[in-house]
Amino acid sequence: MNFENIHNYYEKLVLEHLHDTVIEQQGVTNQDLLEDVACVALNRLPTRYVRHDVDTAFFTSDEEWQRMEKQVAAAVAAALDYVRQHGESRGND
């Protein structure tokens, strides 16, 4: 059996948000920091496992998309603050 198609849809949303806001707008390029932020943000979000992203796009209402985008933005912002605070306390920012 092959289950490689199954994934958490929030991973895509978090990585897109990280790219658009943290990397592009804020200029953050530290790979370790970005990976830590992604992990912390994903742990703050619900899981939504899918096989095909297109199915999620087709069956998700506009209201649900807006809610998901707000959740992702809040989770990434909180995760970035958390990782920066804890990284600085260890001297690893």
pLDDT band for position 43 (cuts 50, 70, 90)? very high
- Per-residue model confidence (pLDDT) at position 60: 87
Residue 70 belongs to a domain = yes
Residue 2 belongs to a domain = no
Give the containing element (helix H, strand E) for 89. helix 62-90
Residue 1 belongs to a domain = no
Residue 46 belongs to a domain = yes
Q: What is the pLDDT of residues 51-93, one digit of tens each?
A: 888 878 778 899 999 999 999 999 999 999 999 999 765 554 4
Mean pLDDT of 32-42: 96
Side chain identity, residue 77: A
CA end-to-end distance (rounded Å), the chain? 42
Q: Which domain holds residue 84?
A: 7-90
Residue 84 belongs to a domain = yes
- Per-residue model confidence (pLDDT) at position 93: 44
Cα distance between residue 2 and residue 72, in whole Å? 29
Backbone angles phi and psi of 57, in degrees to 5: -60, -40
- What's the total number of domains in the chain? 1
Average pLDDT, the chain: 90
